[in-house]
Amino acid sequence: MIKPQPDNRSSKRRARDERIAAEPQLKPLDLPTDARPAPVEAHLAGSRHPIAVAGVVENGVVRPLDPKVKLPERARVIIVASEET
C-alpha cells in the first residue's frame, strides 16, 4: 500500500496544476478507418540523427573546429555556449 505523501507544492504551483487538470481533454484524432499503428521509431527512421561537434561562432557563422566535419546547406544547429573565463 502506498503511503500518502504531504503536498509540498506552492500555492501558485497547486493553482496551475488545478487549472491544467480542469482543461477539457483533446478530442481523438480524425484518422482514416484503415490507419495502422506504427512505432515512433518508424516515424523517426527517415530523419537525420543529431551530432555534437566542437566549433566556434564568428560573425553569426558556425564553423566546426574539425575540418573533416561538413554541415549540409541550411542545417539546423543548436549552439551551446560556456561562460567565458
Angle (nearest 5°) at CA 21 between 15 and 23: 105
Mind listing the pLDDT tens digit for each residue in 36-56? Answer: 888 887 777 766 677 788 888
Residue type, 12: K
What gap in Å lies between CA 20 and CA 43, rounded to an integer? 29
Set of cell numbers at residue 17: 496544476
Q: Is pLDDT above 90 for 81?
A: no
Q: Is pLDDT above 80 for 6?
A: yes
What gap in Å lies between CA 14 and CA 68, rounded to an integer? 52
Domain ranges of the chain: 49-85
**pTM score of the predicted model:** 0.34
